[in-house]
Amino acid sequence: MNPATEGFYHCHLDYPELSAKAVTGYGYIARADEHVDRPDQVLHLEHGNMPPFAIAIVGAPDYWTTADQYSRSNARKFFPIEVALPRQLTLNQQIRLTRAFAKFVATLSDNLYALMPYTFAIHSGYGSQPHAHIQVSPALNDGLVRPAEQWFRRYNPMNPGAGGAPKCRVITYKSWLLELRKQWERCANVALREAGSPLRVDHRTNLERGMNRIPTIPVGPPMIHGRPNKSREIRLQRNREIEEENLRRDADALRAKHDIAIRARRALLDLPGNWWGKRARSPKLSWQSFSGRGVGVLDKTTAISRKDKWTGLSELVQEPAYIHAANNWLGDDWVAGACGPFTVWLHPNARPLIDCGGAICTIGTGLLEANAIATLLHSRGTEKVKIKGSLKWSRRLMDALTQFAVRAVPRKGKQKIFRPAHPKLPAPAPKGRPM
């Protein structure tokens, strides 16, 4: 993702202590009780999926008070979620975004027919950092009418009406948190796209995106309990140093990318003869362009059609996620360089590999090339390939593919070495008695 179009991403799930009071958490996000004089004021407050007893009496505050009163002493009564809202959105757009996300969070449970009660509030963030707090209850609303003293009892699966409300058991799983972070990315990007903003957010870390950048640290609010935050200026200075280091790393990465592109183009120009064939000059390339021009392997798992078995897959091999994953498997000795619709993998002691998506071609038949091709096929999840080349090359590549459990099909018919094209020799004279 381009840093110029990358928005700020923050989605945090907190696991409160067993002794934490749900009404205290509600008072913080609603700016009630002792939090009423905080400068970070509430812009919007909303509740959803509340049971009938909470709606009929007071509303959401009575629900969280009842949770503290009737829940077990060793049970968590609530789970707070905090998300950073894009500043490019208006207040109404932020409300719709938070409401859509809260409704999705209410469905993330192990019970398909029950929803989690929630309360969300949007804070101004001192005017510069708008954010939302979502407080969800693990006691699911399954539609059955229960009194307040029965709602938080133990659930009775044999007779649901006689016991308490069912509980969400998967909210403490790591997979639940990962799905929560992914969904906030989807909701925020949809809202930004509908608002016409070029910014996008990404839940992945810099390492997962293949970016050699140092993440910044949170600076915190300017005021804490009515007093200036002394550590804020120290953190701001640290973030300025991190930004300078990231700019230096970006410049080094751009310079290295330029050098790799030059090496990749030189590697393609150094190929002997008309290695690419006549069809390589046309926009639509096919596997037949490499027939008789070198040795390689055809990825039959990702083949699209018989006419053009890898057109359109060239975009896959140029994605940063694919290059980052393949580079982790290949090691630091192999360097990827984009050249046209291909990705060229360079090694100081091996011939270059041309990764075209559905086909990987090279003019080298060594062990390094075979192991690298097998690694690339494994990193993209290939299950079956078709080898083109000599019998010795086929055996070498099949041995390398065996360790990754990839099924290899050798070329049908006579095996021969694929060499660069040469001028055609005159046709031999027909056999038989001369005229």
**pLDDT at residue 168 tops 80:** yes
Domain count, the chain: 2
Average pLDDT over residues 265-292: 42
Contact 108/128 with Cβ under 8 angstroms?
Answer: no
Full residue range of the structural domain in which residue 295 is found: 278-409
Closest listed residue to residue 58, CA positions, set 8, 23, 91, 10: 23
Phi-psi category of residue 31: left, alpha or beta, with phi > 0 → left and psi -120 to 50 → alpha: left
pLDDT digit string (tens) for 197-229? 989 999 888 878 777 888 888 887 777 767 788
Q: Is residue 209 part of a domain?
A: no
The CATH number linked to 100 is 3.30.930.30
What pLDDT, on the 0 to 100 scale, is given for residue 371? Answer: 83
Q: Is residue 87 part of a domain?
A: yes
pLDDT digit string (tens) for 355-381? 776 677 776 778 888 888 888 777 767
**Burial of 171 (C-beta count, 10 Å sphere; 0-12/13-18/19+):** buried
What pLDDT, on the 0 to 100 scale, is given for residue 286? Answer: 34
Q: Is residue 284 part of a domain?
A: yes
Q: In terms of domains, do 199 and 75 share one?
A: yes
Structural domain ending residue among the three candidates 204, 238, 262: 204
Q: What is the mean pLDDT of the chain?
A: 76
**pLDDT at residue 4 tops 70:** no
Q: In terms of domains, do 23 and 149 share one?
A: yes
Structural domain ending residue among the three candidates 145, 180, 204: 204
Q: Is residue 103 part of a domain?
A: yes
Sign, CA torsion 229/234/237/242: negative
* Tokens of residue 73, six digits: 């002493």
71's CB contacts (< 8 A; 6+ apart) are 77, 152
Sign, CA torsion 116/44/29/99: positive
* Tokens of residue 195, six digits: 């608002």
Q: Is residue 422 part of a domain?
A: no
Alpha helices in 172-229 (DSSP H): 174-194
**pLDDT at residue 236 tops 80:** yes
Q: In terms of domains, do 307 and 174 share one?
A: no
Termini Cα distance of the chain: 74
Average pLDDT over residues 38-62: 80
Which of the four pLDDT bands, split at 50, 70 and 90, describes residue 258?
low
Model confidence, pTM? 0.60
What pLDDT, on the 0 to 100 scale, is given for residue 303? Answer: 37
Q: Is residue 110 part of a domain?
A: yes
Structural domain ending residue among the three candidates 148, 180, 204: 204
**Burial of 433 (C-beta count, 10 Å sphere; 0-12/13-18/19+):** exposed
Q: In terms of domains, do 150 and 8 share one?
A: yes
Q: Is residue 217 part of a domain?
A: no
Average pLDDT over residues 158-164: 89
pLDDT digit string (tens) for 323-367? 777 777 777 677 776 655 667 777 767 777 777 766 777 767 788
Rounded CA-CA distance 16/76 in Å is 7
